[in-house]
Structure 1
């Protein structure tokens, strides 16, 4: 479209070196075209007379870049200055030569020219390692607002292609163009999406089996004798709190018992074993999947540390490499700080326990009958919501602490810093997310004492018990609320916040956009754009990229952390929540397109970093897989009623010792799990008032039941309790050994790389050696 063009201003043409060549006459100037395919762009605010120091630093940095033969194009707006940066061909030739002679890096012989993603990465390194006379680098200057922003430009043609083939909601069930993503965003981003896509794909069988286990639990509604026994029980249960709570009937928990059996059945045991082996197979098949693409991209032998040394020489041939350092004092300080941080997070878990106890008491003593009847479950739900708020706040605090600890360590390179930060941040986040869940899974209802000797907080608040439907019900509620809230709210904010920021920036740059309305923009066949200069004209691509949301070196880390935490939920406590893989599958289908849309259209282009693996995250995933075996074994063996049911069936029930009866083998199990507390006992009378021992129907009772294996007289544990405890630990040991053996067999059975990939690498190395031998 042809638009009205005006002559450029003298100031702008002087900046471009044009006026001087034409005798200083701005009216006698041929059309000037400036390429928009710059390697990098810096943005600053125009400096007034009041802040000359900032202006000096800005000029000093630009002059340092020019001393390195970088071409800097300056375009001024009323209050914004754009610096377009282009590196000379010599820098890239030097990089290519050093890459060729390197031991751990390789350059494809059939690759012609320097890809823009590589140019951007090299210029990005040079900018970050350029210092002015005060010793400050670009990061310092950005913190002090000498420069407002920095970014590499989106390529309009490739951006449009990615948006059509990948970054759109209608492509949710289509494959990903991983190679195109790699060519645009670099190997690091491509491997993230490759890993996320592979994880999502392998979640399909896990989600299907988890759904089958859930539906299998539904069959218990009409066939389980346990549900029938609970729903028809006449047992009177002890009050769940002091003073206000009264005795209640076990049949009141009929609905909760049905809910409990949805995930506390034999199918859960099989599914937990499957998920533990699945985690290993996922990692092993991922290594094979990754190897195919890494070999195709010719980065199998690439080494991040050696790449950094090459870039350091390209930036400054007289530079000296930063030496490795190790200080026992610094390591001790970091270890102590990490330990203290973990203790603080665990302390928050204790505070959450106290909150639930106090809320349960207040709700039970309230005037609303509905809240009084459901005080325990109400406290558990409110506790889950508070836990989510704690997670949200602690995520920000954990990030700040992890960065400070990395500064104390003084790591040698960015790769080492990233690795150290990842380990610390994941450790903090893991304890933040799972401390409360570990308490609910393994301590809730097991340390609260018994009637007459309840454990109390501050001598007043009685420690909470398990949900009347079973201890796994509490874990299920916590898991369902946290996982659902995390995935739903995170996705909403992840998309809406960048969109809102872009909208706000657009409103803030309306004036700049109007001044660019007279720019004449066109594209050649390769998608490269050119704009004819006009008075106060701003390059449209620079403006378009400037008002996108900022990205940094840890933007991709946040995406990895979110999915790895989800992977932890999916595997560690899957015995209590078999629908977790299904929720993860649904979330990831949305997550892939959400992240793609965000990266392609809402955010500035991420620096295309090179890599051949997902880094330390592989070790983190392997550690989660081992922890999943331990946790699921403990959940089934300690938290669920699976072991007590098996012991009852084969030792105490109607079918014990191989005797066959007409009744169900689990008949009488519920009554077998109950112990009796009598009001005639002095300790019981001190805790339970006579007014509490009245049923809603008005009938007085002299005793009540509670779930435990204790004798009626001295409340000591019965022999059945010790037998069940022994079988629990025996099951945990057996479960873990069997699953670990299966994991090792699976890891051995699946090669880490396909045979054709190994043969291709072997042939490539052999051919390179033959060429060198000539």
Structure 2
């Protein structure tokens, strides 16, 4: 039994610095309430830029929204995964203000993986309910309000189809683009931290089924028909999905390398003891309780405090600490490159366009080429015949 949770439960170890309280007020409400605000800011900034073409304008606006979406949606998870508790070197550090406390406060276990899983599950549930309320219930109430106002003014008037459609909600220019950005954000929740919350694909699958029905009902019955516009591709969403995939590979590799005890366990198994007996003496350092600043009262082992760091008696980092840190970076690079190689191999083996479709495209191009050659030869022969006819007419 070498885990910190087991040591705390057994009474042989007590928390020496403040633990996270488990409240997620801002981290859940932030991604839901700030989105419409910075979308308007992005649109104003893009108007100031004045891009040359409409496609450049749309791409610039969507890129800005995507960057702010990543900060808004995944900033709290990044904080829990890679920043929270990293600033605290050893117990006894005096926390002077609430801002410093947010960085010094640590999670209950060796990492914040459990807190990240709970936070992701909470975000999935609250986000789905919030989206259903804002995307379905509010537009529905607005339509009913307009219809009721019209019926009160003209009680006996029967509206035609186009007149009743005018009472529906106006379809904004970037409504479909915002729906795509919402889908990209869900894809980010699935790919970025799947190592800490393996149920994210299942949550994404269930929410996508629900959102697909909601979006279909909303587009048909609650919004006016938008102006049809033909575009060659989905502007820049292919690049955004590819960037999300690459960044997800990097974050999951970092979670495995830095937020798990895989590397310390393997090093201890290879160089010290294959049965992992005594690993807690290596993973925990001791410090006199007289130098510890804590909000808790000690019940056992009052002279010595153990904390989750690899330090010497003077609280300095040891050579083993730097050795483990270097191996963590090596594991990060190794996992990243292996996944990139597998992804590149699969992308090479499965082309974007199937072979049968490529054959049909080549066949159509050959038919068009033969048709152009036939037309070209026909025009040349026609010109020759006209010239010969004119010559005979002149001779006559």
1:737 maps to which of 337, 344, 363: 337
Question: 2:136 maps to which residue?
Answer: 495
Spell out, residue by residue over 1:98-153, the C-alpha distance to the aligned partner (whole angstroms, 9 max, x if none). xxxxxxxxxxxxxxxxxxxxxxxxxxxxxxxxxxxxxxxxxxxxxxxxxxxxxxxx
Partner of 1:669: 279
The structure with more strand, counted as a fraction of residues: 1
Match of 1:137 in 2: none
Check conservation: 2:86, 2:104, Cα contact below 8 A: no
1:334-345 to structure 2, matched below 5 A, reads none
The corresponding residue for 1:120 is: none
Determine helix, strand or coil for the equivalent of 2:316. coil
Distance change (3 Å), C-alpha of 1:377 and 1:668: farther
SS at 2:20's partner residue?
helix
Q: Which of 328, 351, 356 is the aligned partner of 1:756?
A: 356
1:297-338 deviation per Cα after TM superposition (whole angstroms, max 9, x unaligned)? xxxxxxxxxxxxxxxxxxxxxxxxxxxxxxxxxxxxxxxxxx
Aligned equivalents of 1:601 and 1:503: distance in 2? 12
Q: Is the 8 A contact 1:455 1:462 kept in 2?
A: no
Judging changes above 3 Å, is the alpha-carbon distance between structure 1 residues 460 and 421 closer, same or farther for their aligned structure 2 residues?
A: closer
Output the CA distance in 2 between the equivalents of 1:485 and 1:693: 37
What is the CA deviation profile of residues 392-415 of structure 1, one whole-angstrom value per residue up to 9, with x for unaligned ones? Answer: 332122111211121112123322
Q: Could you give the per-residue CA deviations for residues 370-405 of structure 1, whole angstroms, max 9, x where no partner exists?
A: xxxxx7233xx2xx3312322233212211121112
2:240: which partner in 1?
620
Distance 2:301 2:352 in 1: 69
Deviations 1:164-190 (A, max 9, x none): xxxxxxxxxxxxxxxxxxxxxxxxxxx
Match of 1:400 in 2: 40
Could you tell me which of 199, 202, 210 is aligned with 1:590?
Answer: 210
Output the TM-score relative to the length of structure 1.
0.45
Query: How far off its partner does 1:675 sit?
Result: 1.6
Structure 1 vs Structure 2 CA RMSD = 2.6
Aligned residues: 373
**What is the correspondence of 1:627-666 to structure 2 with a 5 Å cutoff?**
627-653=247-273, 655=274, 665-666=275-276
- Higher helix share goes to which structure? 2
**Distance in 2 between the 1:749 and 1:702 partners?**
63
Question: Aligned ranges for residues 550-629 of structure 1 at < 5 Å?
Answer: 550-629=170-249
One of 141, 164, 188 as aligned partner of 1:544: 164
- The TM-score with structure 2 as length reference comes to 0.86
Which segments of 5 or more consecutive residues in structure 2 lack a partner in the other structure? Answer: 376-396
Tell me the equivalent position of 2:77: 437
Cα offset, 1:716, TM superposition:
1.3
Distance 1:513 1:746 in 2: 63
Take 1:607 and 1:411, find their aligned partners in 2: how far apart are those partners?
22
Q: Does 1:514 align with 2:155?
A: yes
1:485 aligns with 2:123: no
Evaluate the alpha carbon distance shift between residue 688 and residue 417 of structure 1 in structure 2; reply closer, same or farther with a 3 A threshold.
closer
Q: What SS is found at the alignment partner of 1:550? A: coil
| 1:427-451 superposed Cα distances (whole Å, 9 cap, x missing partner) | 1111122222222211211112212
Any conservation in 2 of the 1:693–1:702 contact (CA below 8 Å)? Answer: no
Q: Distance in 2 between matches of 1:414 and 1:505?
A: 33
Q: What is the CA–CA distance in structure 2 between the aligned matches of 1:232 and 1:393, rounded to whole Å?
A: 39
**SS of alignment partner, residue 589 of structure 1:** helix
* Residue of structure 2 in register with 1:237 after alignment: 14
Which SS does the other structure have where 2:104 is aligned?
coil
1:678 aligns to 2:288 (yes or no): yes
Partner of 1:377: 21
